[in-house]
Amino acid sequence: MKKNILIVPGDGIGQEVTEVGKKVLIKIAEKFGHEFIYDEALMGHVAIEATGNPLPDETLEKMRASDAILFGAVGHPKYDNDPTAKVRPEQGLLKMRKELGLYANLRPIKLFDELLGASSIKPEILKGSDILFFRELTGDIYFGEKGRKNNGDTAYDIAEYSRYEVERIARRAFEAARTRSKKLCSVDKANVLETSRLWREVVQALAPEYPDITVEHQFVDSAAMMLIKDPRRFDVVVTANLFGDILTDEASQIAGSMGMLASASVGDSTGVYEPIHGSGHDITGMGVANPMASVLSAALLLDISFGLKEESDAIISAIEQVLKAGFRTRDIADSTTAPEMILGTDAIGEEILK
Protein backbone atom coordinates (compact mmCIF):
# COMPACT_ATOMS: atom_id res chain seq x y z
CA MET A 1 0.00 0.00 0.00
CA LYS A 2 1.30 3.46 -0.91
CA LYS A 3 0.20 6.35 1.30
CA ASN A 4 1.13 9.93 2.18
CA ILE A 5 1.42 10.58 5.89
CA LEU A 6 1.85 14.10 7.21
CA ILE A 7 3.70 14.46 10.51
CA VAL A 8 2.70 17.50 12.59
CA PRO A 9 4.56 17.34 15.90
CA GLY A 10 3.37 20.76 17.14
CA ASP A 11 4.54 22.02 20.53
CA GLY A 12 6.22 20.82 23.68
CA ILE A 13 6.38 17.07 24.17
CA GLY A 14 4.42 16.75 20.91
CA GLN A 15 7.85 16.96 19.25
CA GLU A 16 9.32 14.20 21.36
CA VAL A 17 6.52 11.66 21.25
CA THR A 18 5.59 12.09 17.59
CA GLU A 19 9.11 11.16 16.60
CA VAL A 20 8.60 7.79 18.27
CA GLY A 21 5.21 7.39 16.59
CA LYS A 22 6.80 8.05 13.20
CA LYS A 23 9.59 5.55 13.82
CA VAL A 24 7.00 2.91 14.54
CA LEU A 25 5.20 3.69 11.28
CA ILE A 26 8.48 3.38 9.38
CA LYS A 27 9.13 0.02 11.00
CA ILE A 28 5.63 -1.24 10.17
CA ALA A 29 6.00 -0.19 6.51
CA GLU A 30 9.27 -2.10 6.34
CA LYS A 31 7.87 -5.19 7.96
CA PHE A 32 4.62 -5.37 6.02
CA GLY A 33 5.95 -4.04 2.72
CA HIS A 34 4.09 -0.73 2.49
CA GLU A 35 5.34 2.51 1.05
CA PHE A 36 4.60 5.39 3.38
CA ILE A 37 5.77 8.80 2.20
CA TYR A 38 6.29 11.37 4.95
CA ASP A 39 6.09 15.09 4.94
CA GLU A 40 6.22 17.42 7.94
CA ALA A 41 4.45 20.70 8.79
CA LEU A 42 4.26 23.35 11.51
CA MET A 43 1.33 24.09 13.79
CA GLY A 44 0.66 25.80 17.12
CA HIS A 45 3.17 27.89 19.02
CA VAL A 46 6.06 26.80 16.79
CA ALA A 47 4.07 27.95 13.76
CA ILE A 48 3.24 31.28 15.40
CA GLU A 49 6.94 31.82 16.10
CA ALA A 50 7.90 30.97 12.52
CA THR A 51 5.05 32.56 10.57
CA GLY A 52 2.75 34.46 12.96
CA ASN A 53 -0.03 32.01 12.16
CA PRO A 54 -0.90 28.96 14.32
CA LEU A 55 -2.08 27.09 11.20
CA PRO A 56 -0.20 28.39 8.17
CA ASP A 57 -1.85 27.92 4.75
CA GLU A 58 1.03 25.73 3.70
CA THR A 59 0.29 23.33 6.57
CA LEU A 60 -3.39 23.24 5.71
CA GLU A 61 -2.58 22.47 2.07
CA LYS A 62 -0.25 19.67 3.06
CA MET A 63 -2.95 18.32 5.36
CA ARG A 64 -5.52 18.32 2.57
CA ALA A 65 -3.10 16.49 0.31
CA SER A 66 -2.31 13.79 2.87
CA ASP A 67 -3.96 10.41 3.36
CA ALA A 68 -3.61 10.71 7.12
CA ILE A 69 -1.97 12.96 9.70
CA LEU A 70 0.02 11.98 12.77
CA PHE A 71 -0.30 14.89 15.12
CA GLY A 72 1.40 15.78 18.42
CA ALA A 73 -0.04 18.58 20.52
CA VAL A 74 -0.31 22.36 20.59
CA GLY A 75 -0.18 24.85 23.42
CA HIS A 76 2.18 27.05 25.41
CA PRO A 77 1.89 28.46 28.94
CA LYS A 78 2.69 31.92 27.58
CA TYR A 79 -0.80 32.23 26.10
CA ASP A 80 -2.57 30.54 29.02
CA ASN A 81 -1.31 33.20 31.38
CA ASP A 82 -2.41 35.97 29.07
CA PRO A 83 -6.18 35.82 28.55
CA THR A 84 -5.98 38.83 26.25
CA ALA A 85 -3.58 37.28 23.70
CA LYS A 86 -5.03 37.68 20.23
CA VAL A 87 -3.18 34.83 18.53
CA ARG A 88 -3.12 31.43 20.26
CA PRO A 89 -1.90 27.94 19.35
CA GLU A 90 -5.35 26.46 20.00
CA GLN A 91 -6.83 28.57 17.21
CA GLY A 92 -4.76 26.48 14.82
CA LEU A 93 -6.11 23.27 16.27
CA LEU A 94 -9.73 24.40 16.10
CA LYS A 95 -9.28 25.75 12.58
CA MET A 96 -7.76 22.47 11.46
CA ARG A 97 -10.74 20.54 12.85
CA LYS A 98 -13.19 22.84 11.12
CA GLU A 99 -11.38 23.15 7.80
CA LEU A 100 -10.82 19.41 7.46
CA GLY A 101 -14.38 18.64 8.62
CA LEU A 102 -13.15 16.39 11.43
CA TYR A 103 -16.49 16.14 13.17
CA ALA A 104 -15.96 12.81 14.91
CA ASN A 105 -13.33 12.40 17.59
CA LEU A 106 -12.92 8.79 18.66
CA ARG A 107 -11.27 8.15 21.99
CA PRO A 108 -10.94 4.52 22.95
CA ILE A 109 -10.32 4.10 26.69
CA LYS A 110 -8.91 0.70 27.27
CA LEU A 111 -6.87 -0.46 30.16
CA PHE A 112 -3.84 -2.65 29.54
CA ASP A 113 -4.01 -5.36 32.21
CA GLU A 114 -0.42 -4.62 33.18
CA LEU A 115 -1.42 -1.11 34.21
CA LEU A 116 -4.28 -2.07 36.53
CA GLY A 117 -2.24 -0.79 39.45
CA ALA A 118 -1.21 2.53 37.87
CA SER A 119 -4.60 4.18 38.22
CA SER A 120 -5.93 6.03 41.24
CA ILE A 121 -9.07 3.94 40.86
CA LYS A 122 -9.30 0.55 42.52
CA PRO A 123 -8.29 -2.36 40.25
CA GLU A 124 -11.47 -4.30 41.05
CA ILE A 125 -13.54 -1.34 39.79
CA LEU A 126 -11.45 -0.94 36.65
CA LYS A 127 -10.79 -4.48 35.51
CA GLY A 128 -12.33 -5.10 32.11
CA SER A 129 -13.24 -1.45 31.42
CA ASP A 130 -13.40 -0.73 27.71
CA ILE A 131 -15.08 2.48 26.57
CA LEU A 132 -15.22 4.07 23.15
CA PHE A 133 -16.02 7.77 23.21
CA PHE A 134 -17.42 9.64 20.23
CA ARG A 135 -16.89 13.31 20.88
CA GLU A 136 -18.44 15.73 18.40
CA LEU A 137 -15.58 17.97 17.30
CA THR A 138 -16.67 20.79 15.01
CA GLY A 139 -19.69 22.30 16.72
CA ASP A 140 -20.97 23.40 20.14
CA ILE A 141 -19.63 26.29 22.15
CA TYR A 142 -16.21 25.81 20.56
CA PHE A 143 -17.31 27.20 17.22
CA GLY A 144 -20.27 29.51 17.88
CA GLU A 145 -19.83 33.26 17.87
CA LYS A 146 -17.94 34.60 20.89
CA GLY A 147 -16.93 38.04 22.00
CA ARG A 148 -17.33 40.95 24.37
CA LYS A 149 -19.90 43.66 24.91
CA ASN A 150 -20.39 46.50 27.43
CA ASN A 151 -16.86 47.83 26.86
CA GLY A 152 -15.41 44.40 27.37
CA ASP A 153 -17.12 43.89 30.72
CA THR A 154 -19.40 41.14 29.46
CA ALA A 155 -18.15 38.09 27.60
CA TYR A 156 -20.25 35.59 25.69
CA ASP A 157 -19.91 32.30 23.86
CA ILE A 158 -22.69 30.80 21.79
CA ALA A 159 -23.21 27.05 21.80
CA GLU A 160 -24.98 25.81 18.69
CA TYR A 161 -25.97 22.49 17.17
CA SER A 162 -27.94 21.67 14.08
CA ARG A 163 -29.83 18.46 13.56
CA TYR A 164 -27.48 17.11 10.87
CA GLU A 165 -24.43 17.68 13.05
CA VAL A 166 -25.88 15.59 15.84
CA GLU A 167 -27.16 12.99 13.43
CA ARG A 168 -23.87 12.27 11.67
CA ILE A 169 -21.90 11.75 14.89
CA ALA A 170 -24.72 9.77 16.49
CA ARG A 171 -24.87 7.46 13.45
CA ARG A 172 -21.17 6.73 13.78
CA ALA A 173 -21.68 5.88 17.44
CA PHE A 174 -24.67 3.64 16.70
CA GLU A 175 -22.67 1.83 14.01
CA ALA A 176 -19.76 1.32 16.40
CA ALA A 177 -22.12 0.02 19.10
CA ARG A 178 -23.20 -2.65 16.59
CA THR A 179 -19.69 -4.01 16.41
CA ARG A 180 -19.33 -4.00 20.20
CA SER A 181 -21.74 -4.75 23.03
CA LYS A 182 -24.76 -3.05 21.44
CA LYS A 183 -25.07 -0.43 24.14
CA LEU A 184 -24.97 3.28 23.48
CA CYS A 185 -24.91 5.98 26.13
CA SER A 186 -25.66 9.50 24.98
CA VAL A 187 -24.53 12.21 27.38
CA ASP A 188 -26.12 15.66 27.48
CA LYS A 189 -27.57 18.27 29.82
CA ALA A 190 -31.11 18.22 28.42
CA ASN A 191 -32.57 19.42 31.71
CA VAL A 192 -30.92 22.80 31.14
CA LEU A 193 -29.61 23.27 27.59
CA GLU A 194 -31.60 23.68 24.40
CA THR A 195 -28.68 22.26 22.38
CA SER A 196 -28.87 19.18 24.59
CA ARG A 197 -32.60 18.87 24.08
CA LEU A 198 -32.03 18.88 20.32
CA TRP A 199 -29.24 16.36 20.83
CA ARG A 200 -31.52 14.05 22.78
CA GLU A 201 -34.35 14.44 20.25
CA VAL A 202 -32.07 13.45 17.38
CA VAL A 203 -30.62 10.43 19.19
CA GLN A 204 -34.11 9.32 20.19
CA ALA A 205 -35.31 9.72 16.61
CA LEU A 206 -32.46 7.58 15.26
CA ALA A 207 -32.91 4.79 17.78
CA PRO A 208 -35.69 2.95 15.86
CA GLU A 209 -33.29 2.54 12.94
CA TYR A 210 -30.98 0.60 15.26
CA PRO A 211 -33.40 -1.72 17.09
CA ASP A 212 -30.52 -3.98 18.14
CA ILE A 213 -28.89 -1.18 20.16
CA THR A 214 -29.96 -0.27 23.70
CA VAL A 215 -29.79 3.48 24.10
CA GLU A 216 -29.42 5.24 27.41
CA HIS A 217 -29.37 8.99 28.05
CA GLN A 218 -27.35 10.43 30.90
CA PHE A 219 -26.86 13.92 32.20
CA VAL A 220 -23.25 15.04 32.02
CA ASP A 221 -22.92 15.66 35.76
CA SER A 222 -24.15 12.21 36.57
CA ALA A 223 -21.99 10.66 33.84
CA ALA A 224 -18.90 12.40 35.26
CA MET A 225 -19.65 10.70 38.56
CA MET A 226 -20.59 7.28 37.15
CA LEU A 227 -17.44 7.06 35.01
CA ILE A 228 -15.41 6.88 38.21
CA LYS A 229 -17.87 4.94 40.30
CA ASP A 230 -18.52 2.18 37.81
CA PRO A 231 -16.66 2.53 34.49
CA ARG A 232 -17.79 -0.89 33.28
CA ARG A 233 -21.33 0.44 32.90
CA PHE A 234 -20.15 2.28 29.80
CA ASP A 235 -19.36 0.93 26.39
CA VAL A 236 -19.94 3.33 23.48
CA VAL A 237 -20.52 6.92 24.63
CA VAL A 238 -21.51 9.77 22.35
CA THR A 239 -21.48 13.39 23.44
CA ALA A 240 -21.07 17.01 22.45
CA ASN A 241 -17.74 18.77 21.97
CA LEU A 242 -17.34 20.42 25.40
CA PHE A 243 -18.71 17.52 27.45
CA GLY A 244 -16.50 15.15 25.44
CA ASP A 245 -13.46 17.27 26.19
CA ILE A 246 -14.07 17.04 29.93
CA LEU A 247 -15.26 13.44 30.17
CA THR A 248 -12.50 11.92 28.05
CA ASP A 249 -9.77 13.63 30.04
CA GLU A 250 -11.41 12.40 33.20
CA ALA A 251 -11.75 8.91 31.72
CA SER A 252 -8.04 8.84 31.02
CA GLN A 253 -7.66 7.82 34.65
CA ILE A 254 -9.45 4.60 33.75
CA ALA A 255 -6.56 3.78 31.46
CA GLY A 256 -4.02 4.52 34.16
CA SER A 257 -2.59 7.61 32.51
CA MET A 258 -3.27 10.15 29.80
CA GLY A 259 0.06 9.01 28.41
CA MET A 260 -1.63 5.85 27.13
CA LEU A 261 -4.52 7.40 25.22
CA ALA A 262 -4.78 7.97 21.52
CA SER A 263 -7.52 9.62 19.56
CA ALA A 264 -8.72 9.72 15.99
CA SER A 265 -10.44 12.73 14.45
CA VAL A 266 -12.25 11.82 11.30
CA GLY A 267 -14.85 13.23 8.99
CA ASP A 268 -15.31 13.10 5.28
CA SER A 269 -11.70 13.16 4.11
CA THR A 270 -8.30 12.81 5.78
CA GLY A 271 -7.99 11.75 9.44
CA VAL A 272 -5.90 13.23 12.26
CA TYR A 273 -4.41 10.94 14.90
CA GLU A 274 -3.10 12.32 18.14
CA PRO A 275 -2.43 11.61 21.81
CA ILE A 276 -5.06 13.09 24.12
CA HIS A 277 -2.39 14.47 26.42
CA GLY A 278 -1.40 18.02 25.66
CA SER A 279 1.90 19.73 25.03
CA GLY A 280 3.13 19.06 28.59
CA HIS A 281 5.38 22.05 28.98
CA ASP A 282 6.29 21.09 32.53
CA ILE A 283 8.19 18.04 31.23
CA THR A 284 9.25 19.27 27.78
CA GLY A 285 12.87 18.63 26.96
CA MET A 286 13.34 16.24 29.86
CA GLY A 287 13.01 13.15 27.68
CA VAL A 288 10.56 11.50 30.07
CA ALA A 289 7.29 11.88 28.14
CA ASN A 290 5.39 8.67 27.52
CA PRO A 291 5.35 8.10 23.74
CA MET A 292 2.81 5.28 23.88
CA ALA A 293 -0.18 7.52 23.16
CA SER A 294 1.55 8.65 19.97
CA VAL A 295 2.42 5.07 19.06
CA LEU A 296 -1.17 4.02 19.71
CA SER A 297 -2.27 6.98 17.57
CA ALA A 298 -0.19 5.51 14.76
CA ALA A 299 -1.99 2.20 15.33
CA LEU A 300 -5.39 3.92 15.09
CA LEU A 301 -4.23 5.66 11.91
CA LEU A 302 -3.35 2.37 10.24
CA ASP A 303 -6.62 0.80 11.35
CA ILE A 304 -9.09 3.59 10.65
CA SER A 305 -7.61 5.53 7.74
CA PHE A 306 -5.87 2.69 5.90
CA GLY A 307 -7.88 -0.34 7.04
CA LEU A 308 -4.65 -2.09 8.04
CA LYS A 309 -5.98 -4.04 11.02
CA GLU A 310 -3.13 -6.54 11.21
CA GLU A 311 -0.50 -3.82 11.21
CA SER A 312 -2.43 -1.91 13.86
CA ASP A 313 -2.71 -4.99 16.06
CA ALA A 314 1.02 -5.59 15.69
CA ILE A 315 1.65 -2.20 17.28
CA ILE A 316 -0.75 -2.79 20.13
CA SER A 317 0.81 -6.15 20.85
CA ALA A 318 4.30 -4.59 20.81
CA ILE A 319 3.14 -2.20 23.51
CA GLU A 320 1.62 -5.06 25.45
CA GLN A 321 4.93 -6.92 25.32
CA VAL A 322 6.90 -3.91 26.51
CA LEU A 323 4.49 -3.51 29.42
CA LYS A 324 4.58 -7.25 30.18
CA ALA A 325 8.37 -7.12 30.21
CA GLY A 326 7.96 -4.58 32.99
CA PHE A 327 9.15 -1.45 31.22
CA ARG A 328 7.40 1.76 32.22
CA THR A 329 7.62 5.49 31.68
CA ARG A 330 7.47 7.66 34.75
CA ASP A 331 3.75 8.43 34.50
CA ILE A 332 2.70 4.78 34.57
CA ALA A 333 5.23 3.51 37.08
CA ASP A 334 4.02 2.65 40.55
CA SER A 335 5.64 1.89 43.88
CA THR A 336 6.42 -1.68 42.76
CA THR A 337 8.36 -0.58 39.66
CA ALA A 338 12.13 -1.02 39.93
CA PRO A 339 13.96 2.24 39.08
CA GLU A 340 15.93 0.61 36.25
CA MET A 341 12.68 -0.36 34.52
CA ILE A 342 11.58 3.27 34.26
CA LEU A 343 12.66 4.42 30.83
CA GLY A 344 12.69 7.73 28.98
CA THR A 345 10.86 8.56 25.77
CA ASP A 346 13.46 7.26 23.32
CA ALA A 347 14.50 4.21 25.33
CA ILE A 348 10.97 2.91 25.66
CA GLY A 349 10.50 3.76 21.99
CA GLU A 350 13.41 1.45 21.19
CA GLU A 351 11.80 -1.32 23.23
CA ILE A 352 8.56 -0.92 21.30
CA LEU A 353 10.44 -1.04 17.98
CA LYS A 354 12.07 -4.31 18.99
The residues binding its own copies (CB under 8 A) are 75, 79-81, 83-84, 88, 90, 94, 120-122, 125, 141-142, 144, 146-148, 150, 153-164, 189-198, 200-201, 204, 217, 219-222, 224-225, 227-230, 242-243, 245-250, 252-253, 258, 278
Q: Minimal distance in Å, beta carbon 114 to ligand IPM?
A: 26
- From the list ligand IPM, its own copies, none, partner contacted by residue 195 (C-beta under 5 to 8 A by kind): its own copies
3 is catalytic: no
Residue 324's Cα: distance from chain center in Å? 25
Instruction: Count other C-beta atoms under 10 Å from residue 150's C-beta.
Output: 7
221 is catalytic: yes
The verdict on whether residue 249 carries a ligand-binding annotation is: yes
> Pick the catalytic residue: 80, 82, 113, 221?
221
Residue nearest to ligand IPM (CB): 90
- From the list its own copies, ligand IPM, none, partner contacted by residue 210 (C-beta under 5 to 8 A by kind): none
Q: Which is nearer to its own copies, 1 or 228 (CB)?
A: 228
User: What's at 1, amino acid-wise?
Assistant: M
Q: Minimal distance in Å, beta carbon 250 to its own copies?
A: 4
Q: Minimal distance in Å, beta carbon 153 to its own copies?
A: 5
Instruction: Count other C-beta atoms under 10 Å from residue 88's C-beta.
Output: 21
Which DSSP state fits 322? Answer: H
Q: Binding residues for ligand IPM, per CB under 6 A?
A: 75, 90, 93, 191-192, 221, 245
The verdict on whether residue 245 carries a ligand-binding annotation is: yes
- From the list its own copies, ligand IPM, none, partner contacted by residue 204 (C-beta under 5 to 8 A by kind): its own copies
The verdict on whether residue 157 carries a ligand-binding annotation is: no
Calpha distance 67→3 (Å, rounded)? 6
Backbone torsions φ then ψ of 34, nearest 5 degrees: -105, 160
Tally the residues of the chain. Answer: 354
Calpha distance 140→220 (Å, rounded)? 15
Q: Which is nearer to its own copies, 167 or 346 (CB)?
A: 167
245 is catalytic: yes
Q: Minimal distance in Å, beta carbon 199 to its own copies?
A: 8
Instruction: Count other C-beta atoms under 10 Å from residue 171's C-beta.
Output: 17
Rg (CA), the chain: 20
Q: Which is nearer to ligand IPM, 181 or 191 (CB)?
A: 191
Q: Which is nearer to ligand IPM, 114 or 136 (CB)?
A: 136
Q: Minimal distance in Å, beta carbon 193 to its own copies?
A: 5
> Pick the catalytic residue: 3, 11, 22, 142?
142
Q: Which is nearer to its own copies, 89 or 271 (CB)?
A: 89
Calpha distance 295→318 (Å, rounded)? 10
Q: DSSP for 228-279, please give it.
A: HH-GGG-SEEEE-HHHHHHHHHHHGGGGS-GGG-EEEEESSS-EEEEESS--
Alpha carbon distance, N-terminus to C-terminus of the chain: 23
Q: Minimal distance in Å, beta carbon 224 to its own copies?
A: 4
> Pick the catalytic residue: 22, 23, 189, 273?
189
Calpha distance 267→180 (Å, rounded)? 21
Calpha distance 22→34 (Å, rounded)? 14
164 is catalytic: no
142 is catalytic: yes
The verdict on whether residue 233 carries a ligand-binding annotation is: no
The Cβ-side half-sphere exposure at 218, using a 13 Å CA radius, reads 22
Calpha distance 273→342 (Å, rounded)? 26
The verdict on whether residue 97 carries a ligand-binding annotation is: yes
The verdict on whether residue 171 carries a ligand-binding annotation is: no
Calpha distance 352→339 (Å, rounded)? 19
List residues forming the annotated binding site for substrate. Answer: 97, 107, 135, 221
Active site positions, annotated = 142, 189, 221, 245, 249
